Amino acid sequence: MKFDSPAGDNPIDQLKVVGKPHPRIDGPLKTSGKATYAYEWKDIAPNPAYGYIVGSAIAKGRITSIDIDRAKAASGVLAVVTAQNAGKLSKGNFNTAKLLGGPEIDHYHQAIALVVAETFEQARAAASLISVDYKRGDGAFDLAKSMDSAKAPPEGWSGPADTAVGDFDSAFAGAPVQLDAEYYTPDHAHAMMEPHATIAAWQDDALTLWTSNQMIDWSVGDVAKTLGIPKDKVRMISPYIGGGFGGKLFVRADAILAALGAKATGRAVKIALPRPFIFNNTTHRPATLQRIRIGTGKDGVITAIGHESWSGDLPGGGAETANSQTRLLYAGANRMTRTRLSVLDLPEGNAMRAPGEAPGMMALEIAMDEMAEKLGMDPVRFRAINDTQVDPEKPERRYSMRQLTKCMEIGAEKFGWDGRNATPGTRREGRWLVGMGMAAAFRNSPVTKSAARVRLDKRGVVTVETDMTDIGTGTYTILAQTAAETMGLPIEMIEVKLGDSTFPVSCGSGGQWGANNSTSGVYAACMKLREAVTQALGFNPQDAVFADGKVRSGNRSAPLAQAAGSNGLSAEDFIEYGDLDKQYQQSTFGAHFVEVGVDAHSAEIRVRRMLAVCAAGRIINPTSARSQVIGAMTMGVGAALMEELVIDKRFGFFVNHDLAGYEVPVHADIPHQEVIFLDEVDPLSSPMKAKGVGELGICGVAAAVANAIYNATGVRVRDYPITLDKLIEKMPAIA
């Protein structure tokens, strides 16, 4: 099915199942421990062996010698794999550094050896017997110091490195009210609950991987490329994923080394990355330095807006495009953005929940708060008067739908924003200084091809098969809702099977494109199945109505199961898109409101309440969508207050590489969250008229917290995370 003109009325609009707050259909499997996460499969391969990975102790340089003899001789050891004996390996299209290093070392904890043994404990004990000598090389580990050597990266997902409209420099210089400020966002870890894990088994020359991966088709390709085998010899199975946040978009060392270990031993091999290894071995969200300049008239209308973003990565890596939202979010006749990328020898940077916009909004939305204050204007109003219904860089492109101002207005009313005192440091409740802050939320809603197969059996059950993944987001449920709605069945009559590379290729889970595109793919397949059903029944497809488990046409009616016959019916199709997303800018919008308390003495910061108002097209399942947004808000609080991979710039590694050192919010940090979805349908987005919400929810949160801290204390912090040590010397005198 090609979606190249606005969606008219279609079966989804019945909203008998879609749009309803259905609890997740895979919930009971998860709460009873029966969901087969990657490391938890049993009886899929006989007698698996266990792998344990050794990581590099240096960040940059080379291995001068590696002694594996003691490990090989240790109790229970079956094989030791290193770059010396692994055979020729390539690098995946989505990997920047090699997944098995040596003798050259690209980053700290890069895998350099795998020990395979009969038990996990034997493999771990033997791994400690491998002794390695290194020659340390000079590496670059300091983003600020690398800025002078930074270059414009090639055009990527977020467009060209630089954009310009009008004459930014003179417009900014001539603006009566100006802001020129620099911001810093640190490196972030995905810190998902489930570690990267894989079970690998070979049968002759064919490899099967039970793993935890968000993008099955990309990753099958990268496994094949890395190992130098045909893509059709790789099967990947990943039905349940315990969180990914972008950390599992790609193949990592667990998958490749499990495959190599299985090859070396002739056994199935299980590997889970130990938690202290994940932070430096896998990918992370890169740190950014950002400079934002905004110029307005005295009336608050933006005349000049500029956003420059610097980040670093290993050679061949990509930039964190923290300026991407500034190209789209606010009006302004004169504009510039600039992206620069330098080489850093830290672990590989890559996508994490809302790459680009998440750190970009952390900075831009503080800048907007600072500007509002300079103007003496309410922050909601300042944003509203600079709203735009067109892409400000390409004004011929309208937004397909944009309700940013409505989100802010509803949020302000529900949150009691009019109770905020614009003068900071003026509200005290007991030991707490109390402040409120807000920020806009913005994230694009990309469209991309997604396929599915649906089978109707003689019981009348429809089974959906697609290589789409559910990373804890609720995908199983929304695909079931889509199939149920389209086929006129109750949701209990739908089975959903995901995450298997033998199924049709989906969009996968990433970039908040999963929900809209994968449901549209299932919708397309179901529409094809409806044709097959009417044909089998000899019904007129034009007036056939699918409802209540039956098909009706004129005065004829038949149960759906009847059409299936004894062999069943199946249909496969995909959604693909014309150029509506070129004609129209398709994005999601929201507004975040936050109240914080800051201890007047110790400067400890605690969030008191949060509200998000989101406009993101049709909400397919309000329960799972709300879950996505409150999770994203929680992650935003982490980014605001505590999350930072701390770099030892002498040795070039993330020092706090466990969950005691890398703090993420705990329940006590998140007292009250509320989410409101605007009742919105966007016929330009897809037949579902839906968009994404999983990343919208994080964009702007941290800035809203930062702005609330400013309102509470009068201390403006522009480098994240905002910890009490950045406030303590500047806190108001204690009354």
Partner 1 sequence: MKAFSYERATSVQQAAASVAGTPGARFIAGGTNLLDLMKLQIETPGHLVDVNGLELDKIEKTGDGGLRIGALVRNTDLAADKTVRKDYGLLSRALLAGASGQLRNKATTAGNLLQRTRCPYFYDTNQPCNKRKPGSGCAAIGGINRNLAIVGASEACIATHPSDMAVALRALDAQVETMRPDGTTRTIGMDSFHALPGTTPHVENDLAPGEMITAVTLPVPVGGTHIYHKVRDRASYAFALISVAAIVQKDGSGRVALGGVAPRPWRIEAAEAQMPQGAKAVTAQLLAGAKTTPHNAFKPALVERTLAGVLAQARS
b vs e for 64-73, b when ≥16 Cβ sit within 10 Å of the residue's Cβ? eebebeebee
Cβ distance to partner 1 smaller for residue 431 or 459: 431
C-beta atoms surrounding 440 within 10 Å: 29
What is the C-alpha to C-alpha distance for residues 353 and 247, in angstroms, rounded to an integer?
Answer: 9
**Minimum Å distance from CB 52 to partner 1?**
11
- Longest pairwise C-alpha distance within the chain: 84
Neighbouring residues of 246: CB distance < 8 A, sequence distance ≥ 6 = 190, 214, 283, 285, 350, 351, 352, 353, 355, 510
Cβ distance to partner 1 smaller for residue 170 or 602: 602
**Minimum Å distance from CB 712 to partner 1?**
16
Cβ distance to partner 1 smaller for residue 450 or 656: 656
The token duo for 51 is 């792998």
Cβ distance to partner 1 smaller for residue 147 or 666: 666
What is the C-alpha to C-alpha distance for residues 100 and 105, in angstroms, rounded to an integer?
Answer: 9
C-beta atoms surrounding 276 within 10 Å: 16
b vs e for 693-728, b when ≥16 Cβ sit within 10 Å of the residue's Cβ? bbbbbbbbbbbbbbbbbbbbbbbbbbebbbbeebbe
Cβ distance to partner 1 smaller for residue 352 or 731: 731
What is the C-alpha to C-alpha distance for residues 43 and 498, in angstroms, rounded to an integer?
Answer: 20
- 174 burial type by CB count under 10 A (0-12 exposed, 13-18 middle, 19+ buried): middle
Helices (H), 49-132: 69-73, 120-127
Contact 209, 198 (CB under 8 A): yes
Cβ distance to partner 1 smaller for residue 55 or 359: 55
**Minimum Å distance from CB 268 to partner 1?**
23
What is the C-alpha to C-alpha distance for residues 449 and 438, in angstroms, rounded to an integer?
Answer: 35
Helix, strand, coil in percent for the chain, rounding step 5? 30, 30, 45
For 141-199, give the DSSP string: --HHHHGGG-BPPPPBTTB-SEEEES-HHHHHHT-SEEEEEEEEE--B----SSPPEEE
**Minimum Å distance from CB 277 to partner 1?**
11
Cβ distance to partner 1 smaller for residue 42 or 650: 650
Neighbouring residues of 109: CB distance < 8 A, sequence distance ≥ 6 = 55, 56, 277, 279, 280, 281, 347, 653, 657
Cβ distance to partner 1 smaller for residue 148 or 725: 725
Nearest C-alpha neighbor of 486 from the set 565, 545, 561, 559: 545
Cβ distance to partner 1 smaller for residue 75 or 535: 75
**Minimum Å distance from CB 662 to partner 1?**
10
Question: How would you classify the pairing of strands 49-55 and 111-117?
Answer: antiparallel
What is the C-alpha to C-alpha distance for residues 356 and 324, in angstroms, rounded to an integer?
Answer: 6
Cβ distance to partner 1 smaller for residue 299 or 658: 658
What is the C-alpha to C-alpha distance for residues 538 and 544, in angstroms, rounded to an integer?
Answer: 11
**Minimum Å distance from CB 197 to partner 1?**
17
695 is catalytic: yes
Catalytic pick from 365, 576, 680, 695?
695
Cα dihedral: 74, 79, 82, 87 (round 10): 160
What is the C-alpha to C-alpha distance for residues 727 and 713, in angstroms, rounded to an integer?
Answer: 8
**Minimum Å distance from CB 141 to partner 1?**
12
Cβ distance to partner 1 smaller for residue 64 or 90: 64
Is the bond preceding residue 103 a cis peptide, omega within 30 degrees? yes
What is the C-alpha to C-alpha distance for residues 311 and 319, in angstroms, rounded to an integer?
Answer: 6
Question: Interface with partner 1 by CB under 8 A: which residues?
Answer: 57-58, 75, 121, 124-125, 128, 276, 431, 599-604, 606, 641-642, 646, 648, 650-651, 655-658, 660-661, 663, 665-669, 721, 723-725, 728-729, 731, 734
The token duo for 521 is 């793919």
Three-state secondary-structure class, residue 569: strand
What is the C-alpha to C-alpha distance for residues 355 and 324, in angstroms, rounded to an integer?
Answer: 10
**Minimum Å distance from CB 238 to partner 1?**
27
**Minimum Å distance from CB 274 to partner 1?**
8
**Minimum Å distance from CB 725 to partner 1?**
4
Catalytic sites, residue numbers:
695
